[in-house]
Amino acid sequence: MLQVFRMDVKQANILKPMPIQPWKLISASALQGPAIVTLLVWPIAALFALLFGISGNSYQMLIILTVPFAAYLVSCAQAPVAILYFNSEDHSHLYVSFLLSNLVMFFSIAVITAIGAVLWFCHAGVIPTTVVVAVAALVMSAAFITLSAYLYRCHDPTSD
Residue type, 110: A
- Could you give the CA distance from residue 4 to residue 12 in angstroms, rounded to a whole number? 13
Question: pTM for this one?
Answer: 0.78
Domain boundaries, the chain: 2-10+21-155
Instruction: Provide the 3-class DSSP secondary structure of residue 70.
Output: helix
For residue 157, give the DSSP letter: G
Instruction: Provide the 3-class DSSP secondary structure of residue 10.
Output: helix
Q: Does residue 115 carry a pLDDT above 90? A: yes
For residue 159, give the DSSP letter: G
| Interior angle at CA 56, CA 50 and CA 61, nearest 5 | 85
Q: Which strand (E) or helix (H) includes residue 112?
A: helix 91-121
Instruction: Of 36-40, 119-123, 130-134, give the lowest mean pLDDT range.
Output: 36-40
State residue 158's pLDDT score: 57
- Could you give the CA distance from residue 30 to residue 24 in angstroms, rounded to a whole number? 10
Q: What is the pLDDT of residues 62-100, one digit of tens each?
A: 888 888 899 888 888 888 887 777 766 777 877 887 888
